[in-house]
Amino acid sequence: MISVIGYHTTKFGELWNKSLYDLVGEVIRGVLKDAKLEKEHCDAIFIGNMLGGVLENNLHSGAKVAEILDTHIPVFHVESACASGGIAFNMAVNYITAGKAHTVIVVGAEKMTDFPPDVTISGLSAAASGDEQEVGLTFPGLYAMLARVYMETYGYTEEDLAYVSVKNHYHGFLNEYAHFRKQITIEDVLKSPYVASPLKVLDSSPISDGASALIISSNHQLVAQAKYVAKILSSEVATDSISLKSRKRLDELLATKIAADKAFDQAKIDRKDISVAELHDCFSIAELLAMEDLGFWKKGTAGKRIKEYETMHGNGNGFIVNTSGGLKAAGHPVGATGVKQIGEVYLQLTGRAGKRQVKKSRYGLAHNVGGSGGTAVVTILGN
C-alpha cells in the first residue's frame, strides 16, 4: 500500500517576489519538514509543470530541481497541460508500484504572472488543438461552447452557473492559501464582464502563481512513524480527443467518466462513500459537468442541484466539493493544481483543514483535467 505522508503548499496568487524555482524549493523544504524526513529518505522526484519551457525557456527542470535539492536521485519533469500535477502524482504512484522506489516527492509548480497576459494566454492555448488555435479559440471560448450546449440541452441559464462560483468563493474565504479570499454574490457574478458568452470573469479561474508538494511512500517504517497518513486507494488516467470537433458529445467530458469508473473500481468503494472532492472547476460549467461525469449527480441535474448548495461547507450533507476554493477561488497555477487538489483531500482526511474541515471525512477524491478534457486524472484517498 502506498500512502501520502506529507504535504506543503505556498499561497496561490500573484507572487511577484518569487521565481518558479523559489517556489519549488520552498515546497520541497516544506514537505520534508511536514513529513519529518530528510532528502536522503527520498528515492525520486516528479515535478508537474506546464509552461516553464514556454515562458521561461527552461525545459531541463529536472536538473534544476536536482540542483536546488543538491541531489543525484532521478527527477522527472511531467507536462500534461493543466493536468500536469495530477499526472505527475499518477506516474509517481506507478513508479513505486513498479518497484523503482519506495518514497517519492511529487511537486507541482507554475509561475504565470510575471509575463504579459497575451504571452501567458498563448502558452495556455498550446494545450488546445492546432485547428482550434488557428481560428482564435482560447479556453474560455472552448468552455463557453460546452456551457452553451449544456444550457440549451437541459434548460439552464447563466444564473445557474453562477452558484458554482459563489460556493467556491465562500470556501476560498476559509482558506488562508487561496488566491481570492473574498465572498461574492450571484449578482456579482452576473454583473461581471463576459470573457466568452455565457462565461464571465467571475465564472473563470484566475492566472496564478504557486507550488504544492506531497510525499508518498510504500516504506512501512516511514509510514508507521508518520503522524498524518492517508492511503492512496487509486489514481487513474484517461484521455480523449484534444479537439472538441472530434467528440461525440459536448455535454460531458468522456475522459473524466472513464477515469472515474476505473478509479472507483480500483478503490473498491462507492460514490456515496466520498466525503470531500476537489474538482477541476477552471470555469463554472466545468464543475457542473464533473459532478455528472464522476457519477455524483444524474446527467442533466447539476444545474438544478447546485442551486441548493448541497456541496457547500456547513450544509450538513456530508459531501463537500472544492473545500480549498477550487481553481476558481484558490487559484490555478496550472502545474500545481493537481498536486494541491490531492493535498487538500489529504488535509481533510487527516483533520488538518482548519476552518474548512469536513467532519468525519473518510474518503476523498481529486479530479484534474488537461485542456478541454483531453486528459483526466481521478485519484481517491482513504484513511
Active site amino acids: 82, 332
Q: Please name the residues in contact with 176: beta carbons below 8 A apart, sequence gap of 6 or more.
A: 11, 354
Which helix or strand (DSSP H or E) is residue 5 part of?
strand 3-9
User: Residue 221 in contact with residue 213, Cβ under 8 Å?
Assistant: no
Q: Are 85 and 48 in contact (CB under 8 A)?
A: yes
Residue with cell 528515492: 43
Closest alpha carbon to 89 in 259, 240, 302: 259
DSSP state of 11: P
The answer to whether 349 and 230 are in contact (CB under 8 A) is yes
| Among the listed residues 119, 300, 328, 356, the one whose alpha carbon sits nearest the alpha carbon of residue 208 | 328
Other beta carbons within 10 angstroms of residue 228's beta carbon come to 18
Residues 6+ apart with CB under 8 A from 59: 52, 53, 77
